[in-house]
């Protein structure tokens, strides 16, 4: 029996979506769905929900929860990763509250920025342990990473981890539809091309019947900027740099040095930037799960419609040979020619029986490559810090981060990093 292992299966709603998709896919019937999570209670919840869903959908997949991670991975053909190391409390709180003491404010803090750096530093050792287990018990498995920080983790798994890896994010799928909905344009029949790095990939082409739609998009965007709306940062970046970005405005507000500034507090209001957005979402999600848990687990007739998540489509394409196109995060093996070869990039990929096949993009427009490189610098130095366990590279990563370096002096950045290292304690390895 082939096996799909889900690491972080205590993310019950996400496990429901991804593994519900598997149960709804004819080519994936009969697979064992192996669930693993370090939270035994959440693992039991997910197992019960998925057993209910299996019965409701009439699936022949086998649902099995494991307390031993290596056994959950043993013999797997596909591995889905959805962990969050340290959770909301204490680690996310730490990532937000200590920088505030230095006057450094954030919105999401899960990709780059000071919060993204420290989320990486506590997550990289865990995913490298996954990779070590996989090399022993399922060396040929495909690792599908949904965990942020996407670019760094996918990079580390592909290089230092030595496992076949693709990083999967939602922002590519929703980019065009969200943009067109916001501008009240019809997305039917629109063709697009997207490439860059995760959370900062670019809508390079957007056409319909061969006609470039960017002039109309920019005209409507400029008009919409006269009023408050939820996507003001991305529209501003498009109007100044020429292209729309895949990930949300709350994310991109902290990827650049232009928007969250102590000395220009009016920018927060002007661009409608939701500071402390991620902690607010965490509190709401925890409350929402507590409210819905009993009714969801007690429901023996759970309906499921296949979602837009890539995972089941990737597995189906590999099993059947029927091609499927994704936006995937992979190593830059000459795919984007004006970004570093050491970087993880997000490009169109064709999936078929041979696996993940990234496509060649060539040069990005120079201003876009330059913006990407500002984030890649921090990503690569964070990896250096994690692999060498040298504290100096944590400082380097933070000092090169666009938002952090725009707000703080070098001495304050070093002091902030030291405070975060101390506060995270055993959630981090020991740095010298």
Q: In this structure, are residues 279 and 32 in contact, taking their beta carbons and an 8 Å threshold?
A: no
Q: Are the C-beta atoms of 348 and 202 separated by less than 8 Å?
A: no
Spatial contact of 32 and 4, defined as CB atoms under 8 Å apart: yes
The catalytically annotated residue of 170, 308, 393, 424 is 170
Burial of residue 432 (CB within 10 Å: 0-12, 13-18, 19+) is: exposed
- Give me the residues paired with residue 252 across strands: none
Length in residues, the chain: 432
Distance of CA 422 to the CA centre of its chain: 26
Contact status, residue 108 vs residue 130, Cβ threshold 8 Å: no
Q: How far apart are CA 333 and CA 347, in angstroms?
A: 11
Closest CA to 337 of 368, 298, 374, 313: 368
Continuous segment of H or E residues that includes residue 207: strand 200-208
214 and 266 in contact (C-beta within 8 Å)? Answer: no
Cα 422 to Cα 387: distance, rounded to the nearest angstrom: 19
Tokens of 210: 């061969």
Q: Is 393 within 8 Å of 250 (Cβ atoms)?
A: no
Q: Which residues of 96-121 are buried (b: 16+ CB within 10 A; e: fewer)?
A: bebbeebebbbbbbbbbbbbbbbbbb
Contact 96, 58 (CB under 8 A): no
Is 170 annotated in the active site?
yes
What residues act catalytically?
A: 170
């Amino acid at each position: 029996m082939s096996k799909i292992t889900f690491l972080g299966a205590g993310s019950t709603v996400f496990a429901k979506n991804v593994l519900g998709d598997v149960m709804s896919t004819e080519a994936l019937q009969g697979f064992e769905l192996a669930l693993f999570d370090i939270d035994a209670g959440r693992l039991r919840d997910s197992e019960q929900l998925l057993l209910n869903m299996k019965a409701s959908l009439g699936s022949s997949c086998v649902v099995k929860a494991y307390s031993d991670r290596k056994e959950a991975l043993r013999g797997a053909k596909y591995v889905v990763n959805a962990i969050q190391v340290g959770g909301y409390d204490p680690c996310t709180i730490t990532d937000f509250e200590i920088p505030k003491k230095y006057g450094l404010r954030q919105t999401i803090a899960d990709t780059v920025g000071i919060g993204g750096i420290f989320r990486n530093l506590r997550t990289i050792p865990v995913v490298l342990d996954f990779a070590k287990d996989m090399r022993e018990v399922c060396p040929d498995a495909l690792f599908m990473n949904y965990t942020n920080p996407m670019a760094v983790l996918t990079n580390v798994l592909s290089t230092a981890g030595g496992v076949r890896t693709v990083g999967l994010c939602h922002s590519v799928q929703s980019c065009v539809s969200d943009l067109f909905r916001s501008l009240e344009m019809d997305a039917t029949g629109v063709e697009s091309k997207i490439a860059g790095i995760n959370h900062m990939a670019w809508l390079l082409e957007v056409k319909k019947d061969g006609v470039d739609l960017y002039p109309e998009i920019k005209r409507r965007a400029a008009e919409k900027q006269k009023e408050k709306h939820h996507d003001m940062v991305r529209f501003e970046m498009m109007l100044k740099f020429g292209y729309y970005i895949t990930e949300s405005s709350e994310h991109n507000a902290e990827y650049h040095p232009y928007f969250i500034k102590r000395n220009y507090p009016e920018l927060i209001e002007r661009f409608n930037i939701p500071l402390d957005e991620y902690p607010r979402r965490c509190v709401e999600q925890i409350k929402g799960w507590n409210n819905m848990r009993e009714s969801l687990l007690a429901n023996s007739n759970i309906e499921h419609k296949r979602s837009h998540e890539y995972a089941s489509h990737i597995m189906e394409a590999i099993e059947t040979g029927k091609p499927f196109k994704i936006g995937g995060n992979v190593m830059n093996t000459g795919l984007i020619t004006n970004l570093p070869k050491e970087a993880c990039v997000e490009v169109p990929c064709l999936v078929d029986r041979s696996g993940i096949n990234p496509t060649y993009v060539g040069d990005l427009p120079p201003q876009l490559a330059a913006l990407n490189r500002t984030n890649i610098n921090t990503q690569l130095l964070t990896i250096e810090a994690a692999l060498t366990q040298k504290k100096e590279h944590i400082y380097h990563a933070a000092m090169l981060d666009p938002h952090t370096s725009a707000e703080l002096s070098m001495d304050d950045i070093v002091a902030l990093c030291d405070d975060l290292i101390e506060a995270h304690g055993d959630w981090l390895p020991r740095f010298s």
